[in-house]
């Protein structure tokens, strides 16, 4: 019994694995195309995971499986947010997938296995655990992108994603092997201790760091490892795009924190400079290239690249404020991304994808409420007060300035001003252009309620951001700085 109690940080992962396997078998006996039973079971599984994570939460850091898995405040908060993000993505996607014949048991089970990979990444304390979680997530997403087999764009996107993902995994593994060669350890805490006590081959250590940062940069989708992002976002069904753009960002944030902050903190003078270059390039190219896009999914893809650059600024700032600001930024971005891609699916219908900028013309005349929700989302992405996006950027900028990186803060503000153009262009299309069709937009009640809650939550977090900022800062502090 005592052994079972020591496994409590991994109860949610065990429950999710069992339920995903059970749902895979149960779906074989579901004949309805609407897959209501399967969908309900998946949502109940997510709710069960949330309850287990909440009940098993411990204020102290707990390690199990010989130090390969860790349970702490940061992992619990990120897991709870991941459950919420996946649940919202599935709710947004249900009708969209139904009319396209893609709402299958495979889609939902792959989603659960992708979530399991995220959870393992979030709680990993060992290079092997990190890599297993990453590959479980990646392989699930590769299959989901290719799920629409009769779509040339989806198949092409899946092939690009798979090939480039394999390359990034190779870079990451090569870097990890170099770090192992230099330190003689694979555990994150052991690697940190070995570096602090000095290693003989410092050149090998730094080379390993470079390869690891390159692999992390690909998974975040930052320049110059961003080439897969616009193609995958555009080519994949929007229901898959909303999943790729949301919850995995929380897992990759944890991945960055575990490796760079928890494991390679003694090398911060080396990796902070690399992150600064990646951040500036990402904000520059992401915001500038997005201006030229006519497809909103590609525009949001380049927007993602810019946002990830901003997130890296928080990480390289260091300290509780910097890491807490980066975590708050990641959470805010996930909420904005869910709303943005959710809106595309709400406006889409059978045989029509509302993924062009011109599809938003005159939206205010056809549905004032949806136009208002989209306005909140675009203002938040642009960093206009009083939305959550404004306070997320402000908290990162404050951390950057406090860390003494004034030039980086100035460049971040300048590129944010450039980025405001393409967000406000959508607002202009919705409110000042005439629609191609005056037919009213019919939205299912559950989807209308979800987009309303999503948009109003972003507005509420902008007006009262203190609670979430405090939770993020405390989670990071308890998990990393006081270990």
**Distance between the two ends of the chain, CA-based, in angstroms?**
27
CA distances from residue 312 to 171, 182, 257, 412 in whole angstroms, order as listed? 20, 26, 11, 11
Each residue's pLDDT expressed in tens, for the chain with a length of 483 residues? 455 557 778 888 999 999 999 999 988 887 777 788 889 999 999 999 999 999 988 777 788 788 888 888 888 899 999 999 999 999 998 888 888 888 888 889 999 999 999 999 998 888 899 999 999 999 999 999 988 888 888 888 889 889 888 888 888 999 999 988 888 888 888 888 888 887 777 888 888 889 999 988 888 888 888 888 898 998 888 899 999 998 899 998 998 888 888 888 888 888 888 889 999 999 999 999 999 888 899 999 999 999 999 999 988 887 778 888 899 999 999 999 999 999 988 888 776 777 888 888 888 888 888 999 999 999 999 888 888 989 999 999 999 998 888 999 999 999 999 988 999 999 999 888 887 777 777 778 888 899 999 999 999 998 888 888 888 888 888 876 444
Q: Which residue has the tokens 């411990």?
A: 58
Residue ranges of domains in the chain: 2-481
Residue 375 has a CB neighbour count (10 Å cut-off) of 21
pTM value surpassing 0.75:
yes
- Contact at 8 Å (CB) between 188 and 70? no
Cβ contacts of 76 within 8 Å, gap of 6 or more: 53, 54, 57, 475
Return the CA Rg of the chain. 22
DSSP three-state, residue 70: strand
DSSP notation for 455-471 = HHHHHHHHHS-HHHHHH
Q: Could you tell me the two tokens for 131?
A: 């890599």
């Amino acid at each position: 019994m005592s052994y079972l109690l020591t496994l409590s940080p991994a109860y949610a992962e065990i429950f999710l694995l069992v339920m995903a396997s059970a749902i895979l078998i149960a779906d074989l006996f579901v004949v309805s195309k609407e897959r209501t039973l399967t969908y309900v079971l998946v949502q109940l599984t997510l709710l069960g995971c949330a309850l287990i994570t909440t009940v098993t939460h411990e204020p102290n850091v707990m390690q199990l499986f010989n130090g390969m898995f860790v349970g702490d405040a940061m992992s619990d908060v990120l897991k709870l947010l991941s459950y919420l993000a996946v649940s919202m993505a599935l709710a947004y996607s249900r009708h969209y997938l139904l009319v396209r014949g893609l709402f299958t048991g495979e889609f939902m089970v792959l989603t659960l296995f992708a979530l399991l990979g995220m959870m393992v990444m979030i709680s990993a304390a060992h290079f092997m655990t990190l890599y297993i979680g990453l590959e479980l997530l990646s392989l699930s997403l590769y299959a989901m992108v290719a799920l629409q087999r009769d779509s040339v764009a989806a198949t092409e996107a899946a092939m690009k994603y798979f090939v480039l993902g394999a390359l990034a995994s190779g870079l990451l593994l090569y870097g990890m092997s170099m770090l192992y060669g230099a330190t003689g350890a694979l555990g994150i805490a052991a690697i940190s201790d070995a570096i602090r006590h000095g290693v003989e081959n410092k050149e090998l250590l730094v080379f390993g760091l470079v390869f690891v940062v390159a692999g992390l940069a690909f998974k975040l989708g930052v320049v110059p490892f961003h080439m897969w992002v616009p193609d995958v976002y555009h080519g994949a069904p929007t229901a898959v795009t909303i999943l790729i753009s949301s919850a995995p960002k929380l897992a990759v944030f944890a991945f960055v924190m575990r490796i760079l902050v928890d494991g390679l903190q003694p090398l911060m003078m080396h990796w902070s400079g690399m992150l600064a270059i990646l951040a500036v390039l990402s904000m520059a190219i992401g915001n500038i290239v997005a201006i030229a896009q006519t497809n909103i999914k590609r525009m949001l893809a380049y927007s993602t690249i810019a946002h990830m650059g901003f997130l890296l600024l928080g990480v390289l700032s260091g300290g509780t404020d910097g890491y807490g600001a980066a975590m708050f930024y990641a959470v805010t971005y996930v909420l904005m991304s869910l709303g943005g891609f959710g809106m595309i699916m709400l406006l889409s219908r059978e045989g029509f994808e509302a993924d062009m900028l011109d599809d938003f013309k005159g939206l205010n005349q056809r549905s004032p409420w949806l136009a208002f929700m989209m306005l909140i989302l675009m203002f938040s992405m642009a960093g206009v007060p009083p939305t959550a996006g404004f306070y997320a950027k402000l908290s990162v900028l404050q951390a950057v300035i406090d860390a003494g990186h004034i030039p980086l803060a100035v460049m971040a503000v300048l590129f944010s001003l450039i980025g405001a153009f393409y967000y406000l262009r959508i607002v202009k299309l919705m409110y000042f252009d005439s629609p191609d069709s005056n037919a009213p937009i019919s939205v299912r009640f559950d989807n209308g309620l979800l987009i309303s809650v999503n948009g109003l939550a972003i507005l509420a977090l902008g007006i009262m951001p203190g609670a979430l900022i405090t939770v993020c800062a405390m989670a990071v502090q308890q998990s990393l700085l006081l270990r």
